[in-house]
Amino acid sequence: MSTNVTWKSRWTFILAATGSAVGLGNIWKFPYITGEYGGGAFVLVYLGCILLIGVPVMIAEIMVGRAGRSDPVHSMSKLGKTAGRSANWGAVGGIGILAGLMIMMFYSVVAGWALDYVAQSLSGNYLNSPTETIEQNFSQLLGNSSEQFLWHSIFCLITASIVAGGVTKGIGKSVDILMPILFGFLLLLLGYSWVNGDFSAGLHFMFDTDFSKLSSDAILVAMGHAFFTLSLGMGAIMAYGAYFPGKASIGKTVLTIAALDTVIALVAGMAMFPLVFANGLTPSQGPGLMFVTLPIAFSNMAGGQFFGTIFFALVSIAALSSSISLIEPGVAWLEKYGIKRSLSTFGFTGLAWLGGIACIYYGGVFDALDYLTANIMLPLGGLMIALFVGRILPRDTSVQELGMGQGTLFKYWWFALRYIAPIGIILVFLNSLKLI
C-alpha cells in the first residue's frame, strides 16, 4: 500500500468500505444467527450495537487510518508516539491482522459454498425440487469435503490474485455496479416472499421483541455481529482509511455505510423468514438457512435457474470484496518491511487456505474460529481503538481530523467513544462471563 495514493473521492472510499462491510455477514450470517437466537429481541440489540458502538468506533478507525496514512500497526504506533504516549498501541493493529487471517479461514469456506451454489443453480440441480431435496442438497455439500475443498481453494486463489494486484484498482468499479444489482435481487426475493411466503409470520419473528428469549450469549453474539458486519475491530476499515481524502467528512460517510449494511441485512432476513414459515422449516436451522430458503424460492419462480445463478454469483462477489479487506491489512503491514506484495499476499492467503482446510476436515474448527473472532477479538479490538482515540490521543487530534467543529454531533460522538462504547463492550463481556 503506497502512502501517497488516496481514493479519488469520498465516493470511492464509500464503495470500498461498503464492499468490505457488505458480504456474507449480511446475507448468510445475520439471518441464520437471528434464527438461532430467537428473532426480534436479538435484532433490536444488534441494531442498538450498530448505532451506539459500531458507528462511533468506525469513525475512530477511519480517523486513525487517515491520520496515520499507513497499515493499522504503523498507523497506531505512529500516532501513539506522536501523542507522547506508547508506540505499543501498534500491537492492537497486530492482533487485528491475526483476526483478519482467522476470519478468512472460515469466510472462504462459506464463500466456497456460495460458489458451489452458482454451479448448482447453473446446472438446475434444485429446480422443481421438493423442500426435503433442497435441504438434502445442503447437507450433502457439508458432507462432501473434497467439493468444499475445491471451491474454497478457488475462492482463496481469486482473493489472492486481486490483493496481489493492489486493491485500489478494481474494487471501486465492481462495488459501484454489482452491489446495487445484488440489492435489486434481494428486493426481488423479498417480493417473492411477500407473495408466496408467510410474510406476516416472518416479520413477527424478526421484529416482535420478546426479551425473555434473550440469553447473555445472544447479547454477546449480537454485539459481536455488529463488529463483524461493519468490518470493525481488526483494522480493515482503518487500512482503507489511509486512502481517505483529506477534507471529506468522515461522519456522514460512516452513517451512509452503516445504513447500507443494515438495510441489506434486514432485507435478506425479511426475504428468508417468510419462506421458513411457509415451508415448515425451522428458523434455528443454522448456517444452511440461506442455502435452503433461497433455492426454494428460485426453484419455484419463473426464470429461477437464471436468477439463482446470477444471485449466488453476486453473493460470491460481495464475499470477495470483503475477503480482500481481510487480507489487505496484513499485506500492507508486511509491505512496510520491504516484502514484495505478491509474496506476502500469497503467503498470507496460503495460511488462511490451510486454516480453511482445517475447517472443512475437522469438526469444531469452523465454529471455534467464528466464535473467537466475531465475539471476542473484534469487540476487544474495538474497545482498544475506542480507548486509544477517546482517551490516549489528545481531544484536539480528533477535532482537527474530523473537521466538523465541536458542535452537538462532535460532542455526541466523543461521549459515545469515551463512555458508551467501552462501557457497553465491557458490560457485555462481563455479562457473558456471568460476572454480572
- Chain residues that interact with ligand PFF, rule: CB under 6 A: 20-21, 23-26, 100, 103, 228-229, 231, 234, 236, 322, 325-326
CB of 305 to ligand PFF, least distance (A): 26
In 3D space, the residue among 348, 298, 262, 313 whose CA is nearest the CA of residue 134 turns out to be 298
CB of 395 to ligand PFF, least distance (A): 28
CB of 304 to ligand PFF, least distance (A): 25
Of ligand PFF, Na ion, none, which one sits near residue 383, judging by CB under 5 to 8 A according to partner kind?
none
Cell readout for 71 is 497499515
- List the x/- string, 240-269, binding to Na ion by CB under 5 A: ---------------------x--------
Nearer to ligand PFF, 103 or 402 (CB): 103
Of ligand PFF, Na ion, none, which one sits near residue 316, judging by CB under 5 to 8 A according to partner kind?
none
Which DSSP string corresponds to 370-415?
A: HIIIIIIIHHHHHHHHHHIIIIIS-HHHHHHHH-STTSHHHHHHHH
Q: How many CB atoms lie within 10 A of CB 8?
A: 12
CB of 275 to ligand PFF, least distance (A): 22
Binding region for Na ion (CB under 5 A) out of 51-59, 229-237, 331-339, 366-374: 229-237
Of Na ion, ligand PFF, none, which one sits near residue 40, judging by CB under 5 to 8 A according to partner kind?
none
Nearer to ligand PFF, 293 or 322 (CB): 322
Residue 168 makes CB contacts below 8 A (sequence gap 6+) with 5, 7, 243
CB of 229 to Na ion, least distance (A): 3
Nearer to ligand PFF, 72 or 283 (CB): 72
Of ligand PFF, Na ion, none, which one sits near residue 61, judging by CB under 5 to 8 A according to partner kind?
none
The Cα–Cα gap between 21 and 10 comes to: 16
Nearer to ligand PFF, 25 or 56 (CB): 25
In 3D space, the residue among 90, 92, 89, 56 whose CA is nearest the CA of residue 419 turns out to be 56
Binding region for Na ion (CB under 5 A) out of 110-118, 222-230, 233-241, 362-370: 222-230
The Cα–Cα gap between 231 and 254 comes to: 12
Binding flag, residue 321, Na ion (CB under 5 A): no
CB of 416 to ligand PFF, least distance (A): 21
Binding flag, residue 21, Na ion (CB under 5 A): yes
CB of 199 to ligand PFF, least distance (A): 25
Q: Where are the alpha helices (DSSP H) in 242-340?
A: 250-278, 289-300, 304-335
Residues 24-63 that bind Na ion (CB under 5 A): 25-26
Query: Can you tell me which of 229, 345, 349, 375 binds Na ion, judged by CB under 5 A?
Result: 229
Residue type, 262: T
In 3D space, the residue among 260, 331, 271 whose CA is nearest the CA of residue 296 turns out to be 271
Of Na ion, ligand PFF, none, which one sits near residue 326, judging by CB under 5 to 8 A according to partner kind?
ligand PFF
Binding flag, residue 373, Na ion (CB under 5 A): no
| Contact present, 137 and 120 (Cβ < 8 Å) | yes
In 3D space, the residue among 107, 397, 354 whose CA is nearest the CA of residue 234 turns out to be 107
Nearer to Na ion, 25 or 283 (CB): 25
Of ligand PFF, Na ion, none, which one sits near residue 325, judging by CB under 5 to 8 A according to partner kind?
ligand PFF
In 3D space, the residue among 109, 113, 108 whose CA is nearest the CA of residue 139 turns out to be 113
Q: Where are the alpha helices (DSSP H) in 22-166?
A: 24, 30-36, 40-49, 55-68, 72-82, 90-122, 131-143, 145-164
Nearer to Na ion, 130 or 180 (CB): 180
Cell readout for 245 is 481524502
Q: How many CB atoms lie within 10 A of CB 297?
A: 23
Nearer to ligand PFF, 125 or 322 (CB): 322
CB of 22 to Na ion, least distance (A): 5
The Cα–Cα gap between 318 and 311 comes to: 11
Q: How many CB atoms lie within 10 A of CB 336?
A: 13
The Cα–Cα gap between 148 and 112 comes to: 6
Q: What is the contact surface with Na ion in residues (CB under 5 A)?
A: 21, 25-26, 229, 261
